[in-house]
Amino acid sequence: MINLRKIFEALVFASWQHRLQRRKGNDNIPYINHPIRVASLLTTCNDRQDENLLIAAILHDVLEDTDTSATQLEAMFGKEVTLLVEEVSDDMSLPETVRKQKQIEKAPLLSSQAKQIKIADKICNIQDIVSLSIDWPAERKLEYLAWAKKVVDGCRGVNAALEALFDETFRMAAEKLKKDEIH
């Protein structure tokens, strides 16, 4: 049974930590919408709900994008959640190109829970790239798609429904972006 109190504690904490952040683009969307969507995808694409998976999905960006520490996270949400969040977090001291390569290399080594968070995260990011007004040329968006696919390919074998949703999202995004590139 899912402890809704813990889920809402994670939502409140994440919303406070991300309170001043906005998603990329001109729409000024509050950042917290992103982790909520990631967790929502995981509830949709799983028959058995996993409390720690959902909490980690809600918190998946707090270590890399806020001043939250792993010690603080562990005190509030426990070791298992903290380990999951650490597993999906990038080392922000590294250059972006190195971080992206490390995600590709690390993907096959992730736990099944972390792989699911990664796949859901990439689905949401791709959906945002094609639906929000992000000032990236179509070529850069297509490069993001290709990179995201490499990460997700390393995560496969953990959740057929989530992987099918990624494949469909990828296909639709690639078609749309290729049309945009032509026009």
Domain residue spans of the chain? 4-182
pLDDT at 177 over 90: no
pLDDT at 181: 66
Which residues neighbour 70 within 8 Å (Cβ) at sequence distance 6 or greater? 63, 82, 85, 86
The pLDDT assigned to 134 comes to 85
Q: Is 30 helix (H, G, I), strand (E, B) or coil?
A: strand
10 is written with which tokens?
């994670």
The 10s digit of each residue's pLDDT in 111-161 is: 999 999 999 999 999 999 998 888 888 889 999 999 999 999 999 999 999
pLDDT per position as a tens digit, 6-34: 999 999 999 999 999 998 887 889 999 99
* Chain centre distance of CA 181: 26
Are the C-beta atoms of 60 and 117 separated by less than 8 Å? yes
Which residue is catalytic, options 9, 51, 65, 86?
65
Q: What is the pLDDT, as a whole number, of residue 182?
A: 61
User: What is the rounded average pLDDT of the residues 37-57?
Assistant: 95
Phi, then psi, of 93 in degrees rounded to 5:
-80, -10
pTM above 0.85, yes or no: yes
CATH 3.40.1350.10 fits 4-182, yes or no: no
Q: At what angle do helices 51-58 and 112-131 cross, to 10 degrees?
A: 40
Active site residue 50: no
Neighbouring CB atoms inside 10 A of 176's CB total 15
| Residue 76 confidence (pLDDT) above 70 | yes
3-state percent breakdown (helix, strand, coil) of the chain, nearest 5: 70, 0, 30
Catalytic residue status for 121: no
Provide the 10 A C-beta neighbour count for residue 127: 15
Report whether 125 contacts 80 (CB < 8 A). Answer: no
Q: How far apart are CA 132 and CA 128, in angstroms?
A: 5
Name, of 42-51, 54-63, 128-137, the range with top average pLDDT. Answer: 54-63
What value does the mean pLDDT take over residues 60-75? Answer: 97
Average model confidence (pLDDT) across the chain: 94
Q: How confident is the model at residue 183 (pLDDT cuts 50, 70, 90)?
A: low
Residue type at 114 in one-letter notation: A
